Amino acid sequence: MFNIFKKENTEKESNHPSIMAVACLLIHSAKIDENYTDKEKKIIKDAIVEMGAKAEEIDGIIQVAEEKEKDSNQILDFTREIKNIDEEDKKKIIEALWNIIYSDENADMYETNLMRRISGLLYLDPKVVGDLKEKVSQKKA
């Protein structure tokens, strides 16, 4: 899914987002409804492993990302590195975000507003984001 993050892929490495930036964004989306659950943590951990992080590093990555997310007051800190990757990889990140949001089978107004802001910051068409939302919500139903 996120093969661009794997260390073996060095082509255009400067254009790849860091796993930490994506982890912070995923954690931020999980915390937006003020209910950060173990189910959401598992989704985040699975997504980070798919990005190429080593399984034994996941807990450390999550711990650091949680601190960074707590100390940040805006999502620009997290989207800055992600906005320059290709659209297909952005779609995969958005899909992971929707999976977190729908982990409780409900997307509240704060979560949908967050996704609207993220899609703008990542330069993704709102229609594409809506299609991904529909795909994830149908899987959860």
8 within 8 A of 78, measured Cβ to Cβ: no
Q: What is the pLDDT of residues 21-74, one digit of tens each?
A: 999 999 999 999 888 999 999 999 999 988 788 889 999 999 999 999 999 988
Q: Minimum mean pLDDT among 4-13, 28-37, 90-99, 116-125: which range?
A: 4-13
Supply the CATH number for residue 16's domain.
1.10.3680.10
Q: What is the pLDDT of residues 73-96, one digit of tens each?
A: 889 989 998 888 888 888 989 999
Domain count, the chain: 1
d(CA 43, CA 26): 9
Q: How far is CA 36 from the centre of its chain?
A: 14
d(CA 87, CA 49): 20
d(CA 31, CA 112): 13
